[in-house]
Amino acid sequence: MTRQRFHDHAEWLRGDGEGSDVVLSSRVRLARNFAGFSFPGRADSEERQRVAELAREHIQAIGVDPGLVWMDMEAIGNDERTVLVERHLVSTQLAKGKGPRGVAVSHPDERMAIMVNEEDHLRIQVIRSGIALSEAYESINGVDDLLEERIDYAFSRRFGYLTSCPTNVGTGIRVSVMLHLPALKHTGEMDKVRKASKAMGLAVRGFYGEGSEAVGDFFQLSNQTTLGRSERDLLTGFERDIVPKIVEYERLARKNLLDRRRAFLEDRVWRALGALQNARLMKADEAMEHLSQVRLGVVSGVLDQTGLTAAEVQQLLLFVQPGHLQKARHRTMDQAERRLERARLLREALGRAG
């Protein structure tokens, strides 16, 4: 097979780390606000500008390694903002918002991003490949400490870190893992996972978080409670109990498919690869569904002979997104054009260019 290599350095595309056959990435984010300023939703443009300037100054002064690059949301174009959303570096809300706002991104690893003037003054996030929540927390906690030396955070003894939305108040922490659960989805056990998660106060969301559908068997699992529970307690629950259990269920379901229904599994995986290698028009969601099957084929050994890696498949998950597709082709395209170009890009990447 002749394949064109697409390379990307985003942390969550690395495809390695503990449990990476099931867990794409671990993410921790903290919501923080400056004392003495209205929250962004209530502040006028002038106040938001002051917060943005202060935030930028403090973020640049803390000197993390690698350095953080500041991007002013008002100064960059719509296509660039879309790319940032697709890379999980900013939320749709920040991209589509109005007024002074921005993001500081650690370059080039993109492990850390600090959104300024989203729903809160600061939304700090750290992403790691595989199961690495404690590591992500250590990193984010360190940066939070450095910022806190310079900034008076809005904090109360009773309610903890004060946030614009009361559902984030307290620790202001959101812990989440991006899971690939094609076997559980296939066996119909995803409903059980959803119910169990809900009972534990966790939310199950899609690839692009809040409000997004679970396309291609990718699910984001995150906490909903931030008040009355410590960061450590929450992380331990995730890392010791919840995530390993789901990983175990998914692995068991995959093993059952391999042992008992191998022909069925192989057929699904190879058909998906065939569609990606031959299609002439491809929607983003359809591409993600196929790439999900191919990823399952790669990590379960079904596609060993192709030499494909999980990292390559994950990169394609990103490159089929509208913003990245446009970036790769250096132009803005309408939906019909994107479908044509997406199919072409996939053929180039997976070796049936023609």
Partner 1 sequence: MTSILLSQQQKQEETREEPRPETKPATRCEACGLGFNEFRNKGLLGCAECYRAFEPALGPLLQRSHEGGGEHCGKVPSRAGEAMGRLQRLSHLRKELAVAVEMEQYEEAARLRDEIRTIERGPGAARGVAGDDA
Binding piece for partner 1, criterion CB under 8 A, among 9-17, 164-172, 178-186, 206-214: 164-172
Instruction: Name residue, tokens 């699904």.
Output: 268
Select 130 or 170, whichever has its Cβ closest to partner 1. 170
Binding piece for partner 1, criterion CB under 8 A, among 37-45, 263-271, 287-295, 318-326: 37-45
Does 152 interact with partner 1 (rule: CB under 8 A)?
yes
Contact of 320 with 345, CB cutoff 8 Å: yes
Of 84, 90, 116, 169, the one binding partner 1 (CB under 8 A) is 169
Of 91, 125, 164, 176, the one binding partner 1 (CB under 8 A) is 164
Contact of 18 with 136, CB cutoff 8 Å: no
Select 30 or 179, whichever has its Cβ closest to partner 1. 30
Does 170 interact with partner 1 (rule: CB under 8 A)?
yes
Binding piece for partner 1, criterion CB under 8 A, among 49-57, 70-78, 95-103, 166-174: 166-174
Q: Which residues make Cβ contacts (< 8 Å) with residue 217, sequence separation at least 6?
A: 180, 181, 182, 185, 289, 292
Two structure tokens written together for 96: 């589509």
Does 256 interact with partner 1 (rule: CB under 8 A)?
no
Q: Shortest approach of partner 1 to residue 97 CB, angstroms?
A: 13
Binding piece for partner 1, criterion CB under 8 A, among 20-28, 103-111, 219-227, 262-270: 219-227
SS3 (DSSP) at 294 = helix
The 3-state secondary structure of 201-265 reads CEEEEECCECCCCCHHHEEEEEECCCCCCCHHHHHHHHHHHHHHHHHHHHHHHHHHHHHHCHHHH
CB contact burial 159-188 (16+ within 10 A = b; e otherwise)? ebbbbbeeebbbbbbbbbbbbbbbbbbbbe
Does 37 interact with partner 1 (rule: CB under 8 A)?
yes
Binding piece for partner 1, criterion CB under 8 A, among 10-18, 110-118, 160-168, 337-345: 160-168
Q: Shortest approach of partner 1 to residue 96 CB, angstroms?
A: 16
Select 140 or 350, whichever has its Cβ closest to partner 1. 140
Of 4, 78, 167, 212, the one binding partner 1 (CB under 8 A) is 167
Contact of 349 with 319, CB cutoff 8 Å: yes
Of 1, 16, 42, 245, the one binding partner 1 (CB under 8 A) is 42
Contact of 53 with 198, CB cutoff 8 Å: no
Give dist(CA 129, CA 183) in Å, integer: 21
Contact of 248 with 255, CB cutoff 8 Å: no
Give dist(CA 97, CA 160) in Å, integer: 27
Does 119 interact with partner 1 (rule: CB under 8 A)?
yes
Of 7, 157, 260, 330, the one binding partner 1 (CB under 8 A) is 157
Give dist(CA 350, CA 329) in Å, integer: 18
Where does this chain bind partner 1 (CB under 8 A)? Answer: 33, 35-39, 41-42, 119, 141, 144-145, 148-149, 152-167, 169-171, 173, 201, 225-232
